Copies of this chain bind each other. A is one copy, B any other.
């Protein structure tokens, strides 16, 4: 499969449904003696434990997203989240991060600006990173346009600046991931992301499922990197009525090892409807449905009944450094 197909898959943050996914129980590529134990065992759990990071994306993008995601984190059913540094609502979530140092907050490294009426651009000056910008002076709207134009050196400078800005605001990120998968679009961008992550001793969201479409990926991993078995992320073809069933099936089909479930939380309110104007995919109703599901008693019960243990990127990262 070409990287192009991989791009298409990641572009939508759509991965194979859990039943179709490759279910590896070995969660580290390393074959060093330390890796004789699985990741789950190294984290101190019996080898058949099903570990899940329930992760809210896009914090900082909008007030509606911030308050719904904070609510999600505070129910205890969302275990992790990541922040978009270039967006105007960053100060609100940075204030939360400073007063809630226990919250598992990473950085949702941002090189795209996907909505039509509400947009943002780089932390660095536009003169410094021209290849990241569309004709309107904002980030490109799609990850494919972004990847087609981005000079990886400028992407590297920008994501280093996003990390520096986060730290300057008192955010101590527990992990990194890539908004809309832009940094997962080709080998040069993946190399950039790993170089920056390694320099900052931060884990990255990477799934073993991606190896088949990005065969270079294993060669980029360092000894401390963690690869999740699979990523659960709901697809645009799931109907509103099928929402809970999709997640319920995903939880029931979880395999031993570490899985990440990506959700997008917001309220279906006037602001979010404005942000996602004419864009139902990942729009305001979508995010309200995700919010309702992950804060529901039904979700809590599903996790219990299926013996799923929620974990954080901080927990995973801390143990990795000891291994």
- The verdict on A124 contacting chain B, using a C-beta distance below 8 Å, is yes
Within the complex, the shortest CB–CB distance from A166 to chain B, in Å, comes to 12
Write the residues of chain A forming the contact surface with B, with a CB cutoff of 8 angstroms.
Answer: 63-64, 66-67, 87-92, 95, 116-120, 123-128, 136-137, 165, 168-169, 267, 269-271, 274-275, 277
Inter-subunit contact B136/A117 (CB<8 Å): no
The CA-CA distance from A92 to B92 in the complex, in Å, is 22
Given the interface contacts A125-B128, A136-B168, does A88 sit within 8 Å of B120 by beta carbon?
A: yes
Chain B proximity of A70: nearest CB distance (Å):
12
The docked-state distance in angstroms from the alpha carbon of A120 to that of B274 is 19
- Report the minimal beta-carbon distance from A107 to chain B, rounded to whole angstroms: 16
Q: Are B63 and A91 in contact (CB under 8 A)?
A: no
The residue in A123, A127, A270 that gathers the most chain B C-beta atoms within 10 A of its C-beta is A270
Q: Please, how many angstroms separate the alpha-carbon atoms of A267 and B269 in the complex?
A: 13
> Is B270 touching A63 in the complex (CB atoms < 8 A)?
yes
Which residues of B lie under 8 Å from residue A118 when comparing CB positions?
Answer: 63, 88-89, 91-92
- Among residues of B, the one whose C-beta sits closest to the C-beta of A62 is B271
Enumerate chain B residues within 8 angstroms of A120, measured Cβ to Cβ. Answer: 88
- A66 to nearest B CB, angstroms? 8
List residues of chain B with CB within 8 A of the CB of A95: 116-117
Question: Which residues of B sit under 8 angstroms from A136, Cβ to Cβ?
Answer: 91, 168-169
Residue of B nearest to A135 (CB): B168
A69 to B: closest C-beta gap in Å: 13
Cα distance, A159 to B88, chains bound together (Å): 20
Taking CB atoms, residues of chain B closer than 8 Å to A267 are 270
* Inter-subunit contact A125/B123 (CB<8 Å): no
**Minimum CB distance partner of A89 in chain B:** B118
CB distance from A39 to the nearest CB of B (A): 38
- Chain B residues near A92 (CB, 8 Å)? 117-118, 274, 277
B165 touches A137 (CB 8 A): yes
| Closest beta carbon of chain B to A271's beta carbon, Å | 4
